[in-house]
């Protein structure tokens, strides 16, 4: 018996014997439509509180990109009873930490506090969710902060600009084509009333969920939620337009020239997405198989791409780095991508051919039961490791709610992945990588003028 197997068996046994189980998770809905999810974990006197709002950059309109992210910043600027900067000081006084993030699909505010301070932080979060306010001058100052954030994260990074341009080419109708932080011209033109209107439109109880994980009692949390969030008036969630991505009918190619040290090549195919881990339709089966295909190619040290192209097993070393990715989760369309940085003396097209050769090998020869079992074991182990963190527990439950899944989605997803066969992985490699669905992006290093 190998040591790695012994270690995994011990981890699995510990997880099975632990008093922490997903069966303890409770979910309820307040009268105003807000969802509350509670995950007890008694191992330490701490708790994580997350507020998930089902609104992100995909809910913006052209000309106002970045407004969801801007509003996230403005949510820290106060209410009629909490002044600018006071929110952070109050959370710190409770012995807690806090932050927030905006994605394509959601805006999330989170705090970790001693478990006896959960009510206090719920009151603070409910207050700014319902009563966020700030002056026009405060807004204009924060816009300058966000512009600098974009400069540092995007404008000063050739790779970031390249991938931003590539994404804008891949998607035509889907709002995923816009960057989460927004285009610079849109950020500059946003007004205080744009952000206020976005808040009024989307920050309504029925479009939000509170997730609490840690040393808490579900019924007590429910009472606190009713005392805080329950006082917010109900309001209808705005209707969302479909904005379905049209079927791509031919390959696309972008060459992005910038002062970069190395070339980058990325290949992306539009593929089925996972809409419900409990579903049994063909699209769901394909999404599950694609998840394991990405892991077989690049899910561990010494996986197929790294072994063949970075280590140069059996031939020439072609890449400094390689990556295979599949989105799996998200409210919008998903891509399966292969990305690489060519080794010195290797052209991007040569590396692109090598990446596609690895896909063709799976299509022609399949994958072995042993390598598929390896990535399944790694996936199962990662699920066990998640239980060590109340932050991860809360984030996982929030993402399930965001996608419209049940509380047992993680367990269902794990069961479905464990049932994927080598034949299914080979089948998606044979069927889903059509030239018509391919978008190629190349970062071309350019000499300084």
Task: For residues 281 and 273, give the distance between their C-alpha atoms in angstroms, rounded to a whole number.
Answer: 12
Beta strand pairing status for 35-40 and 208-214? parallel
The 3-state secondary structure of 158-215 reads: HHHHHHHHHHHHHCCCCHHHCCCCCCHHHHHHCCHHHHHHHHHHHCCHHHEEEEEEEC
Over range 222-240, report the average pLDDT: 97
- pLDDT given for residue 315 in this prediction: 82
To the nearest whole percent, how much of the chain has pLDDT over 90? 88
Q: Average pLDDT, whole number, for the chain?
A: 93
Q: 271 and 211, same structural domain?
A: no
Look at residue 14 and tell me whether its pLDDT is greater than 90: no
Q: 343 and 260, same structural domain?
A: yes
Tokens at residue 190, please? 């946003």
pLDDT tens by residue, 98-145: 999 999 999 999 999 999 999 999 999 999 999 999 999 999 999 999
pLDDT tens by residue, 389-427: 999 999 999 999 999 999 999 999 999 999 999 999 999
Q: Is 286 part of any domain?
A: yes
Beta strand pairing status for 319-326 and 438-445? unpaired
Over range 345-368, report the average pLDDT: 97
Q: 434 and 359, same structural domain?
A: yes
- pLDDT given for residue 19 in this prediction: 39
- pLDDT given for residue 2 in this prediction: 38
If pLDDT is split at 50, 70 and 90, which confidence band does 252 have?
very high
- pLDDT given for residue 22 in this prediction: 52
Q: Is 214 part of any domain?
A: yes
Over range 298-320, report the average pLDDT: 93
To the nearest whole percent, how much of the chain has pLDDT over 70? 95
Angle among Cα 228, 234, 240 to the nearest 5 degrees reads: 120
Beta strand pairing status for 438-445 and 252-258? parallel
Q: Domain of 430? A: 252-445
- pLDDT given for residue 384 in this prediction: 83
Could you say which of 174, 202, 231 is where a domain stops?
A: 231
Q: 256 and 203, same structural domain?
A: no
Task: For residues 385 and 380, give the distance between their C-alpha atoms in angstroms, rounded to a whole number.
Answer: 9
pLDDT tens by residue, 174-190: 999 999 999 999 999 99
pLDDT tens by residue, 133-165: 999 999 999 999 999 999 999 999 999 999 999
Phi then psi for residue 134, to 5 deg, are: -165, 160
Q: What share of the chain is helix, strand, coil (3-state, %, to 5)?
A: 50, 20, 35
Over range 363-371, report the average pLDDT: 97
If pLDDT is split at 50, 70 and 90, which confidence band does 314 have?
confident
- pLDDT given for residue 273 in this prediction: 92
Look at residue 8 and tell me whether its pLDDT is greater than 50: no
Could you say which of 202, 231, 260 is where a domain stops?
A: 231
Q: 417 and 272, same structural domain?
A: yes
Q: Is 238 part of any domain?
A: no
Task: For residues 106 and 117, give the distance between their C-alpha atoms in angstroms, rounded to a whole number.
Answer: 26
pLDDT tens by residue, 258-294: 999 999 999 999 999 999 999 999 999 999 999 999 9
Task: For residues 416 and 283, give the distance between their C-alpha atoms in angstroms, rounded to a whole number.
Answer: 13
Q: Is 2 part of any domain?
A: no
Tokens 């006896």 locate to 116
Q: 339 and 387, same structural domain?
A: yes
Q: 273 and 203, same structural domain?
A: no
Is the CA virtual torsion 55, 227, 84, 97 positive or negative? negative
- The larger pLDDT score, comparing residue 324 to residue 328, is at 324
- pLDDT given for residue 387 in this prediction: 80
If pLDDT is split at 50, 70 and 90, which confidence band does 204 have?
very high
Q: 347 and 310, same structural domain?
A: yes
Contact 219, 104 (CB under 8 A): no
pLDDT tens by residue, 17-73: 343 455 589 999 999 999 999 999 999 999 999 999 999 999 999 999 999 999 999
Task: For residues 405 and 256, give the distance between their C-alpha atoms in angstroms, rounded to a whole number.
Answer: 38
Contact 48, 112 (CB under 8 A): yes
Q: Is 12 part of any domain?
A: no
Contact 187, 70 (CB under 8 A): yes
Angle, to 10 degrees, between the axis of helix 282-298 and the axis of helix 348-365?
Answer: 120
Q: Is 89 part of any domain?
A: yes
- CATH code of the domain covering residue 377: 3.30.830.10
Q: 213 and 267, same structural domain?
A: no
Q: Is 8 part of any domain?
A: no
Phi then psi for residue 323, to 5 deg, are: -155, 140
Residues shown for the chain: 449
Residue 92, H or E segment:
helix 86-93
Could you say which of 231, 264, 296 is where a domain stops?
A: 231
Angle, to 10 degrees, between the axis of helix 390-402 and the axis of helix 409-418?
Answer: 90
Q: 273 and 202, same structural domain?
A: no
The radius of gyration computed from the CA coordinates of the chain, to the nearest angstrom, equals 24
What is the DSSP code string of 114-162? EGGGHHHHHHHHHHHHHH----HHHHHHHHHHHHHHHIIIIIT-HHHHH
If pLDDT is split at 50, 70 and 90, which confidence band does 3 have?
very low
Q: 308 and 194, same structural domain?
A: no
How many domains is the chain built from? 2
Which residues 6+ apart lie within 8 Å of 316 measured at CB?
A: 346
- pLDDT given for residue 447 in this prediction: 79
| Neighbour tally for 306: CB within 10 Å | 19
Task: For residues 79 and 88, give the distance between their C-alpha atoms in angstroms, rounded to a whole number.
Answer: 13
Q: Is 434 part of any domain?
A: yes
- pLDDT given for residue 158 in this prediction: 97
Burial class for 337, CB neighbours closer than 10 Å (0-12, 13-18, 19+): buried
Look at residue 449 and tell me whether its pLDDT is greater than 80: no
Tokens at residue 420, please? 């994927």
Phi then psi for residue 336, to 5 deg, are: -105, 125
Q: 256 and 157, same structural domain?
A: no
């Amino acid at each position: 018996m190998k040591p790695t197997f012994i270690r995994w068996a011990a981890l699995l046994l510990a997880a099975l014997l632990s008093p922490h189980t997903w069966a303890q998770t409770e979910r309820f809905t307040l009268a105003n439509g807000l969802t509350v999810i509670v995950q007890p974990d008694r191992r330490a006197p701490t708790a994580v509180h997350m507020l998930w709002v089902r609104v992100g950059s995909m809910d913006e309109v052209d000309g106002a990109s970045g407004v969801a992210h801007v509003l996230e910043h403005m949510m820290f600027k106060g209410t009629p009873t909490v002044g600018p900067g006071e929110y952070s000081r109050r959370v710190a006084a409770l012995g807690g930490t806090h932050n927030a993030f905006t994605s394509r699909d959601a805006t999330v505010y989170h705090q970790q506090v001693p478990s006896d301070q959960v009510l206090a932080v719920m009151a603070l979060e409910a207050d700014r969710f319902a009563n966020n306010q700030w002056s026009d001058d405060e807004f204009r100052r924060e816009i300058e902060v966000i512009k600098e954030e974009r400069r540092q994260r995007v404008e000063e990074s050739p790779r970031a600009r390249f991938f931003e341009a590539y994404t804008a080419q891949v998607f035509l109708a889907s709002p995923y084509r816009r960057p989460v932080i927004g285009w610079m011209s849109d950020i500059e033109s946003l007004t205080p009333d744009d952000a206020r209107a976005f808040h009024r439109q989307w920050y309504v109880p029925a479009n939000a969920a509170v997730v609490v994980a840690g040393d808490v009692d579900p019924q007590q949390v429910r009472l606190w939620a009713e005392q805080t969030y329950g006082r917010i008036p109900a309001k209808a969630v705005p209707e969302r337009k479909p904005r379905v991505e049209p079927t791509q009918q031919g390959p696309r190619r972008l060459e992005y020239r910038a002062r970069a040290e190395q070339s980058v090549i990325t290949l992306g195919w539009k593929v089925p997405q996972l809409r419900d881990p409990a579903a049994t339709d063909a699209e769901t089966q394909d999404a599950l198989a694609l998840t394991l295909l990405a892991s077989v190619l690049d899910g561990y040290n010494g996986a197929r791409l790294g072994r063949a192209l970075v280590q140069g097993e059996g031939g020439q070393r072609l890449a400094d780095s390689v990556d295979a990715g599949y989105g799996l989760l998200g409210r919008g369309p998903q891509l399966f991508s292969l990305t690489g940085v060519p080794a010195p003396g290797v052209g991007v097209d040569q590396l692109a051919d090598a990446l596609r050769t690895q896909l063709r090998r799976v299509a022609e020869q399949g994958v072995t039961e042993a390598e598929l079992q390896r990535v399944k074991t790694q996936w199962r182990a990662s699920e066990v490791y998640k239980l060590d963190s109340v932050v991860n527990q809360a984030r996982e439950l929030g993402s399930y709610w965001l996608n419209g899944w049940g509380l047992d989605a993680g367990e269902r997803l794990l069961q479905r992945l464990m049932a994927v066969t080598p034949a299914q992985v080979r089948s998606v490699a044979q069927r889903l990588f059509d030239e018509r669905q391919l978008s190629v992006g190349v970062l071309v290093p350019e000499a300084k003028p």
